[in-house]
């Protein structure tokens, strides 16, 4: 989330530069985190590239949705995205335990948000060779596409000029 916020605040008019930077960041960060999990922490034994791809998709979904909200709605969009991620996404993700251990309905809601879907995808790719990852991939892809759509809307909308 923080890279998306930084991109919106630092690159005010360069929508496509922000988009490209977010995609590159997601790929580099996903691969780096997977390598750290495997070679430094030893918490995954195999399927490093599957984990890297899953983490990249999760970072892309969260990053592009934040970037899209920020690009289209400015600071208000960033605030909405941050509140959604921090107050709903993180607690309802089921990352620390499992979504099934959350109260009825809340675990399901968490799986429809990027953090919950990313946690499920990480578990599926790291420990179960991708079994059960389909719904998480669909959810993350939808979030990434929604964020990209918001970015496109922000890029093509007419600019308002304020006379000096």
Identify the pLDDT of residue 161. Answer: 55
- Rounded CA separation 94/9 (Å): 31
Give the separation between CA 101 and CA 123, rounded to whole angstroms: 15
Distance CA 120, CA 116 (A): 6
What is the distance between the terminal CA atoms of the chain, rounded to a whole angstrom?
34
**pLDDT averaged over consecutive 10-residue blocks of the chain (164 residues)?**
75 83 94 95 91 96 93 90 87 78 84 92 90 95 97 84 52
Predicted local confidence at residue 130, as pLDDT: 87
Phi and psi for 71 in degrees, rounded to 5?
-70, -35
What is this structure's pTM? 0.87
Residue 133: DSSP 8-state:
-
pLDDT value at residue 39: 94
For the chain, the residue count is: 164
Q: What is the DSSP string of 54-92?
A: HHHHHHHHHHHHHHHHHHHHTHHHHHHHHHIIIIIIHHH
pLDDT at 16: 86
């Amino acid at each position: 989330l923080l890279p998306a916020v930084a991109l919106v605040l630092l690159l005010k008019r360069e929508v496509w530069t922000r988009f490209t930077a977010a995609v590159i960041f997601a790929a580099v960060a996903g691969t780096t985190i997977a390598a750290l999990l495997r070679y430094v922490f030893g918490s995954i034994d195999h399927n490093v590239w599957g984990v890297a791809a899953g983490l990249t998709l999760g970072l892309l979904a969260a990053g592009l949705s934040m970037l899209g909200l920020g690009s289209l709605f400015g600071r208000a969009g960033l605030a909405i995205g941050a509140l959604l991620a921090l107050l709903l996404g993180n607690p309802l993700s089921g990352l620390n335990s499992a979504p099934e251990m959350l109260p009825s309905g809340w675990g399901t809601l968490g799986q429809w948000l990027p953090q919950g879907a990313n946690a499920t995808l990480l578990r599926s790719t790291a420990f179960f060779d991708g079994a059960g990852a389909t719904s998480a991939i669909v959810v993350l892809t939808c979030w990434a596409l929604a964020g990209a759509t918001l970015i496109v809307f922000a890029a093509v909308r007419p600019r308002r000029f304020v006379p000096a």
